[in-house]
Amino acid sequence: MRAWLEETHGAGFELFRHFLVRFFDSDLVTTPGQWTKVLIGAFSLLVPVFMMVVPSLAHKYAYLSSLPSPEPYRHALRADELWLITLGMSVVGLLAAVEWQALFPVLRDYLALGSLPVRPRQIFIAKLLALFALISAAIAVVNAFPTLAFAGLSHGRWESNPSFLAHFVAHGASCVLASYFLCFALIACQGFLLNVLPPHLFARVTGYAQGLLITLMLVLIVLSMSIDSGVERAVLRPEIARWLPQVWFLGLCQAILGDPDPQFRALAARALAGLGVSVGAALLFYMLSYQRHRRLFLEGAAGRQKDRKLSRILLDGVIPNPRQQAVFVFMAQTLARSAQHRMVLMGYLGFSLAMVLSGIIGLRETARLPRTLAPSQLVMASFINVHLVLLIGLLIGFRHLFSIPSELRANWIFRITEREGRSHWLRAVDRFALFSVAPVILLLPLPLEVAMLGARAAGELIVFAVGGLLVYERLFFEAEKLPFTCSYLPGKRPAWTIVLGFIGVVSLLPVANLLLVNLLATRVSALIFLALLIVTWTWIHRLRELSWAELPLMYEEAPEPAVRTLNLSAR
488 bridge partner residues: 29
Q: Could you tell me the pLDDT band of residue 569, with boundaries at 50, 70 and 90? A: very low
pLDDT of the residue at 274: 94
pLDDT digits (tens, 9 = 90+) for 14-41: 777 777 766 665 554 545 555 555 556 5
Q: Which residues fall within 8 angstroms of residue 318, CB to CB, at 6 or more apart?
A: 431
Phi, psi of 384 (to 5 degrees): -65, -40
pLDDT digits (tens, 9 = 90+) for 69-78: 888 888 888 9
Give the residue extent of every domain in the chain. 9-301, 320-557
pLDDT digits (tens, 9 = 90+) for 335-349: 877 777 887 888 888
pLDDT of the residue at 302: 47
Query: Stretch 539-544: mean pLDDT, rounded?
Result: 90
- Residue 128 CA neighbour count, 13 Å, CB half: 18
pLDDT of the residue at 3: 65
Determine what percent of the chain is predicted with pLDDT higher than 70. Answer: 77
Across the chain, what does the average pLDDT equal? Answer: 79
pLDDT digits (tens, 9 = 90+) for 339-381: 778 878 888 888 888 888 878 777 777 666 665 666 777 788 8
Q: Could you tell me the pLDDT band of residue 301, with boundaries at 50, 70 and 90? A: very low
Distances (CA, A) of 425 to 188, 316, 321, 516, 538: 43, 16, 10, 34, 20
Higher pLDDT, 188 or 408: 188
pLDDT of the residue at 6: 57
CB 74 within 8 A of CB 229: no
pLDDT of the residue at 32: 53
pTM: 0.75
Per residue, what are the HEC states of 441-489?
HHHCCHHHHHHHHCCHHHHHHHHHHHHHHHHHHHHCCCCCCCCCCCCEC
Is 559 a residue whose pLDDT tops 80? no
Higher pLDDT, 548 or 368: 548
pLDDT digits (tens, 9 = 90+) for 39-55: 565 555 566 666 677 78
pLDDT of the residue at 230: 86
Is 295 a residue whose pLDDT tops 70? no
